[in-house]
Structure 1
Amino acid sequence: MLAQRLDCPFLEGDDFHDARAVAKMRAGKPLDDDDRWPWLDRLGAAIGETLASGGAVVAACSALRLRYRQRLREAIPVPTRFVLLDAGYDELLRRLSQRSGHYMPTSLLDSQLATLERPDADEMVFTLDAVEPPERLCDIAHAWLRTPTPLANLGHQPLSSA
């Protein structure tokens, strides 16, 4: 939705996992850093290549740790901002349970949350409450991205379309 609003390409991070990592997740085994580094490198390169054709790009991925976000920023040749769509355990479990045809089982949610490093205040990460309607989330994220000097991590934001 945000990519449509920005009239730019959208990259789904899950499409950049290799077959071994997908098989590992499908088997209910969490990925470790050794699994994630090549994935982040492929995703970062794809973002950079997409940007080379001009404009912007929106990518969705689980950059769970600070060092993963740093790795992506190093691979992307322009300033990069992240939007964290934050939701509680029960909501995440509900969404995972309703997702059909995806290789990641709900049993991996605990390991994902254990890996998550919430962004520090000095990171350029905007955290939004993911239980809000997608249209409102898109409006707020779009407004934040349009600011010339965005504030760093602001925590959960009230969703008013200023």
Structure 2
Amino acid sequence: MGVSGCGKSEIGQRLAQRLGTAYVEGDAFHPAANVAKMSAGTPLDDGDRAGWLAVLRDKIAEARSQGVGLVLSCSSLKRHYRDLLRSGDPDLTFIHLHGERALISARMQARPGHFMPPALLDSQLLDLEPLQADERGFQVDIRLAPEELISQIAQQCGAAAQANPENQKETK
């Protein structure tokens, strides 16, 4: 989870590969109207995100019902978005890719052709509600190299699974 440009897709793909599990790019499930709205520089509202989040929740629930792992990238900016996703799997773990605005903005400006313009970063930062103490998950610093991030995430997820294997069937 995290704002656009924090590295969710890159880290998600690498983590899934390392874990030998499926990866789902959450942005691929945005309806065309959402992509057009963001491309035009207009932030999405809760109504815009509702159907998209429901589709992602269903992907999570499907993986849980099949007993398979899944890594899914999704901004998950607000607590109630995460609550909806968690309704697909109460053991869902959120990994918040966190970094300074300047770094994220530079990354956004360096990726040509993405539908999310850098001008929307501030609206995402305003919407971002950090993980709460009662939410399963943790924060990682995006200043680390991707391989260091993956190692840190795998280690933290592995430690959590060893502490309570029943509650750590999947890593997202």
- The TM tier, using the shorter chain, reads 0.7 to 0.9
* Aligned equivalent of 1:101: 113
> How far apart are 1:51 and its partner, in Å?
3.9
* Aligned equivalent of 1:46: 59
SS of the counterpart of 1:25?
helix
> How far apart are 1:78 and its partner, in Å?
5.0
With over 3 angstroms needed to count, the CA separation of the structure-2 counterparts of 1:78 and 1:116, relative to structure 1, is: closer
* Aligned equivalent of 1:66: 79
Aligned amino acid, residue 93 of structure 1: S
Q: Are 1:144 and 2:152 matched, yes or no? A: no
Q: Does the aligned pair in 1 maintain the 2:31–2:52 contact within 8 Å?
A: yes
Aligned amino acid, residue 114 of structure 1: L
Tell me which of the two structures has the higher relative contact order, counting C-alpha pairs closer than 8 angstroms and 6 or more residues apart: 2
SS of the counterpart of 1:59?
strand
Aligned amino acid, residue 120 of structure 1: Q
Cα distance in structure 1, aligned partners of 2:142 and 2:127: 19
Aligned amino acid, residue 134 of structure 1: P
Count of equivalent residues: 149
Runs of 4+ in 1 over 6 A off after TM superposition: none
* TM-score, L = length of structure 1: 0.87
Q: Does the aligned pair in 1 maintain the 2:38–2:44 contact within 8 Å?
A: yes
* TM-score, L = length of structure 2: 0.82
Cα distance in structure 2, aligned partners of 1:121 and 1:50: 25
Q: Is 6-15 or 120-129 further displaced after alignment?
A: 120-129
Aligned amino acid, residue 130 of structure 2: R
* Aligned equivalent of 1:26: 39
SS of the counterpart of 1:55?
coil
SS of the counterpart of 1:99?
coil
Higher helix share: 2
Q: Does the aligned pair in 1 maintain the 2:95–2:137 contact within 8 Å?
A: yes
Cα distance in structure 2, aligned partners of 1:73 and 1:60: 14
SS of the counterpart of 1:63?
coil
